[in-house]
Amino acid sequence: MKVLVVNAGSSSLKYQLIEMETETVLCKGVVEKIGLNGSLITHKYGDQKVIVEDTINDHTKAFNLLIDCLVNKDYGVIDSVEEIGAIGHRVVHSGEEFDSSTYVGDEEMKKLQSVAHLAPLHNPANIACIQLCKSLLPKVPNVAVFDTAFHSTMPKKAKMYGIPYEIYEKYQIRRYGFHGTSHKFVSGEAIKYLTSKGLPCSKIVTCHLGNGSSISAVKDGKCVDTSMGMTPMAGVMMGTRCGDIDPAVVEMIADNTGMSLKETTNYLNKQSGFMGVSGVSSDARELCKAASEGNERAQLAKDMFAYQVQKFIGSYAVAMNGLDCVVFTGGIGENSWEFRELIMQNTEFLGVAFDQEKNKTSEARGNFCDLSKPESKVKVLVIPTNEELVIARETQEIVQSL
Ligand code: AMP
**Mind listing the pLDDT tens digit for each residue in 333-377?**
999 999 999 999 999 999 999 999 999 999 999 999 999 999 999
Query: HEC states along the chain?
Result: CEEEEEEECCCCEEEEEEECCCCEEEEEEEEECCCCCCCEEEEEECCEEEEEECCCCCHHHHHHHHHHHHHCCCCCCCCCHHHEEEEEEEECCCCCCCCCCEECCHHHHHHHHHCHHHCCCCHHHHHHHHHHHHHHCCCCCEEEEECCHHHHHCCHHHHCCCCCHHHHHHHCCCCCCCCHHHHHHHHHHHHHHHHHCCCCCCEEEEEEECCCEEEEEEECCEEEEECCCCCCCCCCCCCCCCCCCCCHHHHHHHHHHCCCHHHHHHHHHHCCHHHHHHCCCCCHHHHHHHHHCCCHHHHHHHHHHHHHHHHHHHHHHHHCCCCCEEEEEHHHHHHCHHHHHHHHCCCHHHCECECHHHHCCHHHCCCCEECECCCCCEEEEECCCCHHHHHHHHHHHHHHCC
**Mind listing the pLDDT tens digit for each residue in 343-354?**
999 999 999 999
Distance between CA atoms of residues 52 and 387, nearest Å: 25
pLDDT of 32: 94
| Ligand 1 near 95 CB (within 6 A) | no
pLDDT of 332: 97
Lowest mean pLDDT among 23-32, 52-61, 291-300: 52-61
| Ligand 1 near 182 CB (within 6 A) | no
Backbone angles phi, psi at 324, to 5 degrees: -105, -30
Summary mean pLDDT of the chain: 96
| Ligand 1 near 335 CB (within 6 A) | yes
Distance between CA atoms of residues 71 and 63, nearest Å: 13
pLDDT of 119: 87
Percent of residues, the chain, with pLDDT higher than 70: 100
Atom 4, ligand 1: residue with shortest CA distance: 331
For residue 86, what are the β-bridge partners?
3
Provide mean pLDDT across the span 171-186: 97
Dihedral (CA of 231, 114, 139, 122) sign:
negative
pTM over 0.75: yes
Q: What atom of ligand 1 comes closest to residue 287's alpha carbon?
A: 12
Provide mean pLDDT across the span 136-152: 97
Which of 183, 211, 281 gets mutated to test ligand 1 (max ligand atoms within 8 A of its CB)?
211
Establish whether 370 is a catalytic residue.
no
pLDDT of 246: 98
pLDDT of 121: 80
**Mind listing the pLDDT tens digit for each residue in 63-78?**
999 999 999 999 999 9
Backbone angles phi, psi at 4, to 5 degrees: -95, 120
Dihedral (CA of 3, 88, 194, 377) sign:
positive
**Residue of 99, 147, 324, 355 with catalytic role:** 147
Q: Is 329 exposed, middle or buried (0-12, 13-18, 19+ CB in 10 A)?
A: buried
pLDDT of 120: 84
Atom 8, ligand 1: residue with shortest CA distance: 331
Residue 3 to residues 91, 99, 100, Cα–Cα distance (Å): 16, 22, 18
| Ligand 1 near 273 CB (within 6 A) | no
pLDDT of 71: 97
**Mind listing the pLDDT tens digit for each residue in 2-56?**
999 999 988 899 999 999 999 999 999 999 999 999 999 999 999 999 999 999 9
Provide mean pLDDT across the span 209-234: 97
pLDDT of 9: 86
